[in-house]
Amino acid sequence: MLLLIRAAALSSLIVLAACGADPAPGPVEQIIVREPGAAAAVASAEAPADALLAEGKAAFANCTACHTLEEGAPNGVGPNLFGIVGAGAGEVAGFAYSDALKGSGITWTATELDSFIADPAAKIPGTTMVAGAIADAAKRQAVIAYIDSVTAN
């Protein structure tokens, strides 16, 4: 009988030991607590770029009297500027450029666009772009960023 009690106790011990074994733990829910305003800080990091593009879009509204900025749209009084950043001056198909602009050899980088938009006649004497100069450097940068972003998307 003693042997039977020992055997029962031993088997109970083995069973209990097996019950306590924990298989690989499952997913654990984590709660992340942020300081007040932390989410706003992440959003505000993107805000300067968004604000620059919004300012550029608003300033480009003045340019739409002569230019379009939609892929495949027809030229107006001025050429369609879609894809102009990185393109050569005088290369938009179907637009009658001045000889001065066609012969300039300029590639429209942000720097070249900036100096042209600041004073077209000084940058390329003989150009037919006689209106639309933007004296404010920040506004020029915003317009160029906007034009480039439309093309990139």
The CATH number given to whatever domain includes residue 47 is 1.10.760.10
CA-only gyration radius of the chain, Å: 34
Token representation of residue 66: 């002569």
Measured from the Cβ of residue 150, the count of other Cβ atoms closer than 10 Å reads: 19
Residue 6 lies in a domain: no
Number of domains into which the chain is organized: 1
Q: How far apart are CA 14 and CA 46, in angstroms?
A: 60
Give SS3 for 151. Answer: helix
Provide the domain limits for residue 64.
42-152
Q: Which of 20-29, 54-63, 67-76, 116-125 has the lowest mean pLDDT?
A: 20-29
- 105-138 burial by CB neighbour count: b if 16+ within 10 A, else e? ebebeeebbbebbeebeebbeebebeeeebeeee
Spatial separation of the C-alpha atoms in residues 67 and 150, rounded to whole Å:
14
Q: Is 4 inside a domain boundary?
A: no
pLDDT in tens, 120-153: 999 999 999 888 899 999 999 999 999 999 987 5
| Mean pLDDT value across residues 78-84 | 95
Would the pLDDT of 47 be above 60?
A: yes
Specify the amino acid at residue 23.
P
- Residue 36: inside a domain, yes or no? no
Residue 79 within any structural domain of the chain: yes
**Is 140 inside a domain boundary?**
yes
Answer whether residue 10 shows pLDDT above 70. Answer: no
Report if residue 10 sits inside a domain.
Answer: no
Q: How many CA atoms lie within 13 A of 27 on its CB side?
A: 3
Residue 65 DSSP symbol:
T
Asked if residue 97 is part of any domain, the answer here is yes
Return all residues near 22 (Cβ < 8 A) that are at least 6 apart.
none
In a domain, 82, yes or no: yes
The pLDDT value recorded for residue 34 is 59
